[in-house]
Amino acid sequence: MTIRAVSIIVPDEETLTVWIATAYDVCRDELRREPDPAYLASMIHVAATPPPEGGSKEAMIRVTRLSPEWHALHDRPQLPEAPPRASVCGVQTHFQGIWYETREFGRFPGAFLALLADDDRAAAIAQHQAAGDTHVTMDLTGAYREPAAIYPERLKNGHDWSNDLPGIKARVREAIVAGLFVDIALGGDGRSVNDNPSFGQYNDPVGDTYGHEWLMANLERIVTAFRGDAGSEAPDGEDLTRYMLFRPGYDGVFFGWGDPPGQPDRQPARVLAFGAKFRSILPD
């Protein structure tokens, strides 16, 4: 901020103390740092200016938000124009067929994109683009604790984003802004341990998935967050679903939704029920 030499009338020491404390709060909230002397001087000038131009915390916030520093911190790249659905459904991607070159782990077969450090994730997205991919894959929840898996330990243990939908949504957004679509697996492999498992109550301790019953109970919560609905867990108004493919899970889905031998197999009905529920939430 540019500071000009101006005369400032401070009513008393107590008022000055309040102004400085308020400036600290605003700087921490808006610029995510401690204020330097130039910022404090600027905010004291704002506080000493009569309303409506100054004289309040709101005025300090307004002036701070006019600064290049604030815009550099808060302005995000805009989403590209929403594509035709046919484009989103035309998938070309590498999964384990691409090798990520990462700072943290070195070289390993592509997977766990959402779990990579920020710089490694950006580099991996660039690798997909260079390979001609249109899509990348991310998981809502998942691990890969198979004994022979060659992935680094942190990645093998995976992560469950089902209680942090804004976190996974932010990573999906990064890929979309970079020009890719996102294929997301929802952790619905197999049958659930009960009708509505709680967080961490997995049906597969190797893969950290929840299964069909959990997915049916949580599908609306998940999709509305990616759509940015008011009242959802990510109510930012940004609809990322237009750039995404949702699938229940990996290889434990349709066949894994069946019943044990000797019982009537309701697998086809479960598949149809999932499709109907999904379309009731996201009809287009």
Candidates 207, 186, 193; CA nearest to 281 is: 186
Q: Which residues contact 243 (CB under 8 A, 6 or more apart)?
A: 79, 80, 82, 83, 88, 176, 181, 182
Alpha helices for 32-164 (secondary structure H): 37-48, 57-64, 68-74, 85-89, 118-130, 153-156
Confidence band (pLDDT; 50, 70, 90) for 167? very high
Residue type, 252: G
Residues paired with 160 in a beta bridge:
141
For residues 24 and 35, the answer to whether their CB atoms sit within 8 Å is: yes
Characterize the bridge pairing of strands 141-142 and 99-102.
unpaired
For residue 2, pLDDT beyond 70:
no
Query: What does the pLDDT read at residue 6?
Result: 47
| Domain map (residue ranges) of the chain | 13-73, 85-281
Rounded CA gap, 146 and 112, in Å? 15
Candidates 151, 187, 188; CA nearest to 168 is: 187
pLDDT tens digits, 123-135: 999 999 999 999 9
Largest CA distance in the chain: 89
pLDDT tens digits, 208-251: 999 999 999 999 999 999 999 999 999 888 999 999 999 999 98
How far lies 212's CA from each of 174, 257, 261, in Å? 29, 7, 18
Confidence band (pLDDT; 50, 70, 90) for 46? very high
Query: pTM of this prediction?
Result: 0.75
Query: What does the pLDDT read at residue 32?
Result: 84
